[in-house]
Amino acid sequence: MNQDPISKPQALSVLVVGGGGREHAIVEALSRASSVSDIICTPGNPGMHGMARCIAGPQTPQAVTALAQAQGVHLVIVGPEAPLAAGVIDALQAAGIPAFGPTQAAARLEGDKAWSKAFMKRHHIPTARYQSFAALEPALAYAQTHPLPVVVKDAGLRAGKGVTICHTHAQAAQAVHDIFAQAEDAQVVIEAFMQGQECTVLAFCDGVRAVPMPAAQDHKTIHEGDTGPMTGGMGVICPFPLSHTDLQRIQTDILDVVMRGMASEGIPYVGVLYAGLMLTADGPQVVEFNARFGDPEAEAVLPLLQSDLAQLALACVGGQLSADMVEFAPQASAVIILAAPGYPAEPQKGIPLTLPVAQPDSHIFHAGTALQGEQLVSQGGRVLAVQATAPTLNAALGRAYDLAAQVGFAGAQMRRDIGARIGAVPQVQ
Ligand code: GLY
């Protein structure tokens, strides 16, 4: 990092909010940050043992602020979308505690997809044609005459599972019905399907500047060949190979426009911006924005981060970010998710897990685990994110699959085609 080390605050105490694989990866990156001496995670997870003090508790604005005050932390990093949408950052700011993440108003970019699409339209950000609806009948009428395939999205937060790509009008009608059955005040976004490779660009943002991290590609359906129901994400490759032209367009036509647009509307964006993109014949288009690190993208991207994450977060909070502060190792990273049997509909909990001994340049991030006495067990849908770093993507995939094969987890679901979309082939050691 290009900063005078003497002026850097040292011995920082950092509180991380969340308890999944993304937060485990954030904690791991902080554990390598030379300015950090103490990490607390609420609620945290069993995988963080030895890196962070895990403190149980709700993720409400009041509870997180009280914990941050009681622990005297210098910085709070919020992982998941729900506390951001609930206003945790606003409460921390009001208490004078440096907090990395967007305010409640800025987190609408993720939390309200109808607002987010309207924002993109106002600022001419490339995205699919769409209409949004707050009532069932007009939504059904629109969906049933829309050219196929058509994409039906719940406008609210649904942990990455509120999107259906519909290949028949009957499917589209069902998806619309399902969204309005969830909540009376639901809103639905109906948009044109975009063809192309999908990728994720995460960017550190300080309210004015957006500095991208290496691009990644998630694999969102449960089954190989991109089939089956949507999940939170089943595996990631990083870097995803973007052309120089696409990289430039993403910066100038998307990231920079978001920063200017949000500032001009009085809601400057600070934190990590997640741009979910489709690389179409007309150039990169936005599929969705999220207001946080992706999960499992964070588990692939953050192990490559060489800069001090706490210093980057403080620079963003202070409006002092510059591109030369953000350094990543010129390596490749792969993540393979081990999910519980039954995921995403009804994941089985309580399945005993046995983990292999730690290996260099790899991590087993805990996404949904718990301790029953001494026994580690599954506790969520996505249970473990097995990550490996290597000089090439094929080698990283080979190492990640090899490590995943050593995990004891009866009935685990795992996609064996992570990286295949771009022609990557796991390289056997
Ligand atoms: N990996 C998808 C997400 O974080 O929303």
Q: Report pLDDT digits (tens) over 302-346.
A: 999 999 999 999 999 999 999 999 999 999 999 999 999 999 999
Q: Which residues line ligand 1 (CB under 6 A)?
A: 160, 218, 232-233, 290, 294-295, 297
| pLDDT attached to residue 183 | 82
Q: Name the residue of 158, 218, 273, 277 whose CB sits within 8 Å of the most ligand 1 atoms, as the mutation to test its pocket.
A: 218
Cα separation, 271 vs 313, in Å, equals: 7
Shortest-distance Cα residue to atom 3 of ligand 1: 294
Shortest-distance Cα residue to atom 4 of ligand 1: 294
| pLDDT attached to residue 1 | 36
Cα separation, 38 vs 27, in Å, equals: 10
Q: Name the residue of 153, 158, 200 whose CB sits within 8 Å of the most ligand 1 atoms, as the mutation to test its pocket.
A: 200
CB–CB of 182/157 below 8 Å? Answer: no
Q: Name the residue of 274, 286, 288, 299 whose CB sits within 8 Å of the most ligand 1 atoms, as the mutation to test its pocket.
A: 274
CB–CB of 207/412 below 8 Å? Answer: no
Q: Quote the ligand 1 centre to 70 CA distance (angstroms).
A: 32
| pLDDT attached to residue 156 | 86
Segments of the chain with pLDDT less than 50 = 1-6
Structure tokens at 122: 């106002």
pLDDT tens-digit map of 174-215: 999 999 998 878 999 999 999 999 999 999 999 999 999 999
| pLDDT attached to residue 41 | 98
For 365, phi then psi, to 5°, come to -85, 135
Domains parsed from the chain with CATH numbers: 12-103 (3.40.50.20), 129-192 (3.30.1490.20)
Q: Quote the ligand 1 centre to 6 CA distance (angstroms).
A: 37
Q: Quote the ligand 1 centre to 290 CA distance (angstroms).
A: 8
- The sign of the dihedral angle between the CA atoms of 192, 159, 278, 164 is negative
